[in-house]
Each structure stands twice: as C-alpha cells, then as structure tokens.
Amino acid sequence: MTDQLSVAPKQLALLMFASLLTDAFIQPFGRQSSVPSAQMGILSAAIQMVGFAVVFWLFMKKFNNVLETKWGCGALAAVLLLSATLEIIQGERFYSYVMDADLPVASFLVIMFFAVFYGVYSGMDALSRTAAIILALTGISIGFLLISILPQLRFVNLQPAALKVAPLLDSLKQQIYFPPELLVWAYLLKQSDQKKKNNRSQLVFCWLFTASSLFYLLGEMTLGRAYQNQEQPLFTIARLGGISVFRRLDALHVSVWLLLFLIKITLYFSMIAMLLKKIWPALEKHVPYYLAAAGALVLFLLTWSQVENTAYMVQQGMLLFLGIIMLLPIHKKETFK
Amino acid sequence: MKQIKCVFLLLLISICCCGCTQSGIGDKVIVKAIFLDRSSQYAAQLLVLKTSPSADAGDASETTEFITGQGASLYEALRSAEESTSSDVFYGQNELLFIGPSLQREGMFESCRYLARNSSSGRPNMAVYGIDAVPEHVLLLEDSGKQFLDHISQLVKQGAYRTYLYQMIVEDETALLPLLHCEDEGNVQPAGLKVYQKGKESELWVGPAVELAALFSGQSGVKNLELYIDKEPITVTLRSPELFYDCVENNTNMDLQIHLSGHVQQVLGAEGLYKKCEQQKMLKQINEQIETIVSIMLETAFQPFGDVFLLENRFRNQNDLLAMKMKDAGALYQLQRIHFSSELKIV
C-alpha cells in the first residue's frame, strides 16, 4: 500500500465524491418506509449538503489530534469496519435485486474481497485515479439514462405540495445521515498536511446536491405516482429506458454503479488497513487487510438480515460520538508522530 | 507483468460469473409475452421463443411455444409454468403482459404489483394489454406466435395507446388499460381503452376517445380520429397534435384551460380523400366534435376518486394552497373548472 500522503487534494475530492455518490445510486433497503417526493427530497438534500459542508468546515478548523492516538485510530477503524459491513450488505442486496441470475452470497463476497484486496494494495493514489475514471463513466451512464427516458418524462407527474415543516422533518429524518467519508476526508487531509490548500469540498457537496436533485426529478417525472413505491427508483427508470434497439441499458448502468460501490468499499478497507498498520506497525504487509476482511465477514454474518437497523443506529451513533470528540479542544501528547 | 496477470485473472472471473456457465443459449427459452388470467385459480401462460443454435447459421431455427402453469397464487402459477419445461426460462427480453378477461375484472392490480416487485419475471417497462381471449383460446396462438408478436409491434409503431407496468402499481388503482381483440392466426385489433378508478372498471372508451386519451397521457404522434360529419364516417389524420395547459387563477378559485393545437393532415371519407376546400368547410364541425368527446371523457376522468389524467397536479402546480382549499371545499373536481378547446387548423 502506498503512502496516502501522495494523494493531491483534488484527487482526494474526486475519490470522496465517488464514494458519497454511491449512496445516491444504491438506496438502502428497508431503512426508509418510502421514497420522499422530489420536492421534499431536493429540499432535504439541500439541507443535508449544508450540514455536510458545516461539519466538514468544523473538522477542518477544529480537528484535534485524537485520531493520532491508538485509541482514536482504533475507534475510527471500528466504525469504518461497521460502515463497510453495512455497505456490503446493501451492495449484495442491490446486486441480488438487479441480477436475474442468482449468485450465492459467498461467491459475491469472495469476488468483492478479491477486487478490494487488489484496490487496497494498489494504494490510495491509484484508487483516486480509478475513481476519476469511474466518475467519467458514471457521467456517461447518466447521459444515456437521460436520453433513454426522455420520451417518458412528464412535468405533470411532479407532485407539488405547499411547504410544511412536518413533512420536511419526516423527509429529513429518513434521509439525513452522517457519512464516514467526512471523517475520513478530514483525517486524510490532516495527515497529508494539505488542509490549508483548496480541498474542493464545497464543489463536491454542490455536485452531490445536483446529482441527487437530478435523480429525484428524473424519478418522479418518469414514474409519477408510482415513484414513491419504488425500492430502487433510479434502477426502475434505468430499466424503463431504451435507445433505439438497445433495450437492456440497465445492465450497463448497473455495472458502472457497482464499480462506484467497489470504490467506496475499497476506500473503507484501505483506511482500515492503514489504521491497523498504524496501531500495530509490526503487522506483516497484507495482514491488516486479512484482519479487516475477517472482521467484516464476522460482522456481516452477525448483522445480515437480523440486526441491520440496530447496526446502522450504532454506526451513526459512533460516527457522531467520534465527530464530537474530534472537535473537542483536546490535545494528546502521546501520538504516532 | 504482474498487473497483466491480475487483469487477466479478473477477466477470467468475470467470464465465469456472466451467467452462461450453467446453461447455454440452446438450453434457454426466451419469454416474449406473459398471459395471465384467473378463474378458480391463477393461470400463467408464457409465450416463449425456443432457439436451436447451430454451427451452420442456416440450420439455426427459432420456434414459439406456450408453457403454462396454474396455481392458487400468481407466484405458484408462474413457478408451475417454469417447472413445466426442462429449459431455463429467461425473462430478460420480455416487454409484454396480457391480462385475461377474468383478471381484468378482479385482481389485475395485485398481479401487476407482484410482477413489479418481482424483478426476475417482471420489468417496469412491460407494456400491459387487456385481451379478450381466455386461456384455452390463448393456446391456439401457439402456431401463430410470431405473427402475433409482429402484430403487436406494428400496433406499437402505429402509436396505439401504451400502458406500462409501473403505471399499474399506483396506490389509488387508477389506470387506463388498452384492450386488444384477438382474432385467428395471431391477428390482433385494438378494442378500446378500459378506465379503472379505485380498482374498478368505470368506463370503456373506443374510437377517437382512445386517441385523445393518448394525447392527454402525453403520448404524441400521428393520431387518426374517426368522426362523423353529417352522419357520414370520416377519418381525420392529425399532424403534430399537442395539448397546451394554462391554469388561470383568480381570488377564490382556478380554472384550467386546455387547448388542442395541431394540423389536420388529411380527411378520409367513404369516397376517398376530401379536398382542402372541403376540409376547411368541415373544420368547425371537427373541432366541435372533438370538444364534445373530450367533455364526455372528462366527466369520467376528472373525479376525486380517480384523476385519470392527473389534472389536479396542473392546479397544484399553479397554486397548491388554493388547489387544496378548493379540493376540501369540493370546488376542484367540477367540470366547469376545465375549459377545453380544439383549435385544429388545416395544413
């Protein structure tokens, strides 16, 4: 694994954008009762992005050095392990949902861990460059999606409603979350000592908001009243569209979205492996990854189809706790540096 | 070199996972249409394409056949049909769903919801049609399966009304179901448009009402309206017909003005095409007849329990608070709120 310091802020921003964008394509199963209307979704996304920007700004300003201690690294590694597990569960479920041919969970995990292993030991720099390529592919995928569903877009399908606080709060409650990427991003910038340079976080949050808003609008304008019943609305509209004789473009879209998912998982595992190596420098080259994979596998078996919602609440609680700790005016003397 | 090996290995793994390892193309039957009906049990009939690939392209062949199944639920019926063949049933290319007469009366929306949820057998872009053939008659299509599919694609190309599966899963169970009359040798003819509100059949639209409903549903294209001028049947071909909506607001209520614009391309009567000067003379009557037909359609389509053309959204897009206030006061769903005018011109 190469040193994370070699990642330029611009590349890091692209990597974080790719990782955060995955959530817009692969909606969590079972976590929300229904998809919010486009109006509520866009408003919630705007509030959420402002929240992200504020939290990230605070991290940049007030980030203490707790993550430089063994305790801090261990806590971040633990929360990332839980986050990776939850993402793997959602990814596997999404894969089973979109694919006609059944793939046993074990095969999915083996292939995914193999690909992630390759990604982790290619280094963060290679990962961020791959993310840039996959983002370009995602742009093409969205372009094709737009063209393919253009005949079915109808403005009258939009479900307008006078702005009221209660539905907005409901929508926010369902949508808002604390992504581990914010902590990871701030941590990596601090590590690389490049936090004073332009980290392009505002641009990333703006693009995230644009992408989310576009997906909400496309979903509702295409599906109309059926939009809010969809588990994976973007996948549903991807299945609707076709260009000329090409009817199954959804397979191409999904392959690009799954690549984004792989980037996200690889980022998490890269971070876990890096943190474990920091805690125990004596670990052999690939051992941190094996430990992380084993930990994720155990958590996967413990949470899968059983306590996913509880695990999600624990993850969010841990992230929030860690985020608050990072902002407290604490300065630890015993750090790795 | 190491990287090349890794990439090669990844490609090899991808090939192993591409879905063709378990069965070849010759072992699959490709579903081209699903027919569903329900009498005492659910009946599922899958019109499948069976391919016999050959190294010599000339020997390769394609035949259609039905695989059928019955069961207490739709799941069981589909599963029974799948188990009736030794081949793998592949749904990935199917875009047609036909609902039989009994299921049209009861259980259609539940069946559509099941298929929409089930990503393997259902696709949201499946075109849904009501068909007047019972399962026994559907089986007679086996030999003429290809002609049947060709006729359906011709109808689609001609701009026949289309309803997709995702439009049939709405909670208020309000939808328009295009009907087909099945004739011998795989011939099919459009047989109108069935209006469903709150899951119940409320009306059957035929002739020009179907073409106008397509316009209201945003399905553009050339429209052929069968009208009567002085009791003589004529077919009016419209070029680029389009509806324009304008919601006019005053202090206490709103009115929706809808204008049909476009050009009359040709008028065909019993004795052939009418000349331009004759068309000009009958233009007023054509416009008036269209206005009459639309006002009759709106009597059914614009109801609080089933807003077929989503006209409420047009009001709400203008002023949501006022629209909701009117709705609560019972003043929104009234025909006098909508002013339709046909303003067709001669090319």
- Note the ipTM here: 0.74
- Inspect the interface and report whether the beta carbons of A239 and B125 lie closer than 8 Å: yes
Report the 10 Å Cβ neighbour count for B59. 9
Give the Cα separation of A296 and A291 in Å (integer): 9
pLDDT of residue A8: 85
What is the least distance, in Å, from the CA of B316 to any CA of chain A?
6
pLDDT of A242 strictly over 80? no
pLDDT of residue A2: 44
- Inspect the interface and report whether the beta carbons of A100 and B124 lie closer than 8 Å: no
Residue type, B334: Q
Task: Please tell me what DSSP assigns to residue B51.
Answer: E
pLDDT of residue A193: 65
pLDDT of residue A282: 86
Percent of the residues in chain B that have a pLDDT greater than 90, as a whole number = 46
Report the 10 Å Cβ neighbour count for A207. 17
pLDDT tens digit sequence for A79-118: 999 999 999 999 998 988 887 777 888 999 999 999 999 9
Residue A175: both structure tokens together: 């949508």
Residue B238: both structure tokens together: 């419209």
pLDDT of residue A88: 94
pLDDT of A272 strictly over 70? yes
pLDDT tens digit sequence for A317-335: 999 999 998 888 776 666 6
Low-confidence ranges of chain B (pLDDT < 70): 1, 6-7, 10-11, 13-26, 52-61, 119, 222
Q: Which long-range contacts (CB under 8 A, 24 or more apart) does B326-334 make?
A: B326/B253, B326/B254, B331/B253, B332/B304, B333/B302, B333/B303, B333/B304, B333/B307
Contacts of B17 in chain A (CB under 8 A): 103, 107, 111
- Inspect the interface and report whether the beta carbons of A229 and B119 lie closer than 8 Å: no
B111: nearest Cα among B73, B70, B69, B162? B73
Mean pLDDT of chain A: 86
Contacts of B120 in chain A (CB under 8 A): 100
pLDDT of residue A4: 45
pLDDT of residue A30: 61
Residue B23: both structure tokens together: 């069965």
Report the 10 Å Cβ neighbour count for B22. 10
| Confidence at A161, pLDDT banded by 50, 70, 90 | confident
What is the least distance, in Å, from the CA of A60 to any CA of chain B?
37
Give the Cα separation of A179 and B200 in Å (integer): 46
Give the Cα separation of B278 and B276 in Å (integer): 5
Of A127-136, A304-313, B23-32, which gets the smallest average pLDDT?
Answer: B23-32
pLDDT tens digit sequence for A4-28: 456 788 899 999 999 999 988 888 7
